Amino acid sequence: MEKKLDISVVVPLLNEEESLPELLEWIQRVMKENGFAYEVVFVNDGSTDGSWRLIRGFAARHPEVKGICFSCNYGKSAALNEGFKLAQGEVVITMDADLQDSPDEIPKLYKGIVEGGYDLISGWKKKRYDPLSKTIPSKLFNWVNKKISGIELHDQNCGLKAYRKIVVKNVSLHGEMHRYIPVLAKWRGFNKIGEQVVEHRARKFGSTKFGLERFINGFLDLLSITFVTKFRKRPMHFFGTIGTLSFLVGFVSTCWIIGAKLYNLAHSLPFRDVTEQPLFYISLTMLIVGAQMFLTGFIAEMMAMNSHKEDDYLIVERAGDND
């Protein structure tokens, strides 16, 4: 019988050869001091330096260390997704490999999940050691995230997070969706989401692997995931609402234009032909767009019904089922 693990630490990395030995030693020291049964899962996201060689050496000397190596750089979402699949701890903690996340935060995060009853706790780097070119766009990005997603977190993109095991086993990541794990978790019904102020340390080795383009891509991903999570099961609510409003506005405008002409004719007043009025063509366009949007919603609704799967719904517990 395998020993039950308290914690799995999942570490995605790209070219972090210099920081890995210190990071592993630090994690091991914290775990030993607190008596945790644990594992460390390193996910090498296509590093071109000696990172994988070090990880293989760690795994050979330390049974608690596991490693995954990608053939090329697939991105942080893919790395976390594979790390989540492998993780067996009751609490899963993610952190970056650049030593900017402190393993000393692990006990508090673990306690927040186990004793605080949270499904997910996100770190909040209240005091940061990043340049303004990174902190200002990050603040704007997080503000937009908060307004759109409705999740009150100051730093959704913080790499230092803690999860209950059931959460990571029921979220699927792709593209750049690692920034929105709280949104995905909330969509799956894990609503107990909190945050904890964590230490942010100055970078000791190397340089950041992310550029400003991540904010543009991140915003587009946010719109995508917000739409999917809200309307995946009921696309007609989105397309049908817009289509109906567009059709009604176009219909009322057309009736008003025609009615105005008939009134002027009946009272021998000057009038313009309907086809000479720009508003008529705008109204006609709204009628056509409205009908198309409504039909799109109808077709999407039928596709959603036909693609229904039992695993679309997550059952977390059963009671009174003795069969």
Q: Which two tokens stand for residue 158?
A: 């913080």
Q: What is the pLDDT of residue 250?
A: 92
Q: What is the pLDDT of residue 1?
A: 47
Token pair 């400003």 is at which residue?
A: 212
Q: What is the pLDDT of residue 238?
A: 80
| Residue 46: Cβ within 10 Å count | 18
Q: What is the pLDDT of residue 228?
A: 65
Tell me how far apart the alpha carbons of residues 35 and 38 are, in angstroms, rounded to a whole number: 9
Q: Which two tokens stand for residue 285?
A: 């366009």
The answer to whether the CB of 64 falls within 8 A of the CB of 137 is no
Distances (CA, A) of 111 to 13, 35, 106, 165: 26, 13, 9, 14
Tell me how far apart the alpha carbons of residues 58 and 67 are, in angstroms, rounded to a whole number: 9
- Which portions of the chain are predicted below pLDDT 70? 1-3, 128-138, 141, 148-149, 202-233, 304-323
The answer to whether the CB of 177 falls within 8 A of the CB of 221 is yes
Q: What is the pLDDT of residue 183?
A: 84
Q: What is the pLDDT of residue 171?
A: 87
DSSP E strands, the chain: 7-13, 38-44, 65-69, 91-94, 120-124, 161-164, 193-197
Buried b (16+ CB within 10 A) or exposed e, 52-88: bebbeebeeeeebbbbbebeebebbbbbbbbbbeebe
The answer to whether the CB of 179 falls within 8 A of the CB of 78 is no
